[in-house]
Amino acid sequence: MDKVVKKDVQSNFLRYDDNWIHNYLNPILSSGAPSELVSEEIEKNTVGTDIHLMPIFSQRFCDTITKMASEMPEQNWTKGRHEHYPTNDILLKDFDARLYEVFQSVLQKWLLPHALNIYQIAGKKAEDFADETFLVRYTIENQSYLDTHMDSSYFTFNTSLNNNFIGGGTYFKKYNLTLQPQPGWSVLAPSLVTHKHGARPISEGVRYMLISFIHPIVQPAY
């Protein structure tokens, strides 16, 4: 019976539809309110002038994906994707291709439109941007922190997935502060030299993050 229930839950989790939106998206995003009003609500959770705490996923989403991550074979995690500041991670499309497709729908319909509104990026649509989305795992044994660095992206979603660990948090040098949002909430921040940041060390438990580097799709010159 347990296997049947588990299979049914995972099937629902990997199929984007109205039920998925109801169960796994934060209700602030899925409230049906006009996009401009939702963007204004997100902007109320602003740190400094340009870092925003954005509600994205429900606790149910976080519980489901962290359970899947905890069951991922050790050899599937890698530190070989980033040369200078490697993280112990796995690309979301390699973690589960079906979940990556679900996330693309969330990104295009819900996340990018609000980010473009908030940062007042005119003349661009959600489909003008691409992502590199990956799960990061911080553990005492493999990697407990990440040095201050800058992302190679236009802006980044740093989404917390759990809080059953000690320590951690995302440190931003510009404001000399550490942010530790609740699970399902993301730290949305510009990238490159203006917003160097790092992961504070954990001292107990496992910290999971879902990171999305966002960058414009470069159109070929003719």
The whole-angstrom separation of Cα 212 and Cα 24 is 18
The whole-angstrom separation of Cα 180 and Cα 184 is 11
Q: Give 75's pLDDT tier (boundaries 50, 70, 90).
A: very high
Residue 209, in any domain of the structure = yes
Residue 150, in any domain of the structure = yes
* Mean per-residue pLDDT of the chain: 90
Residue 62, in any domain of the structure = yes
Domain range spanning residue 108?
2-216
Residue 191, in any domain of the structure = yes
Residue 103, in any domain of the structure = yes
Cβ atoms within 10 Å, residue 209: 23
| Count of domains forming the chain | 1
Residue 184, in any domain of the structure = yes
The whole-angstrom separation of Cα 179 and Cα 86 is 21
CATH number at residue 64: 2.60.120.620
Residue 222, in any domain of the structure = no
What is the value of pTM for the model shown? 0.91
Residue 221, in any domain of the structure = no
111-135, pLDDT tens digit by residue?
999 999 999 998 899 999 999 999 9
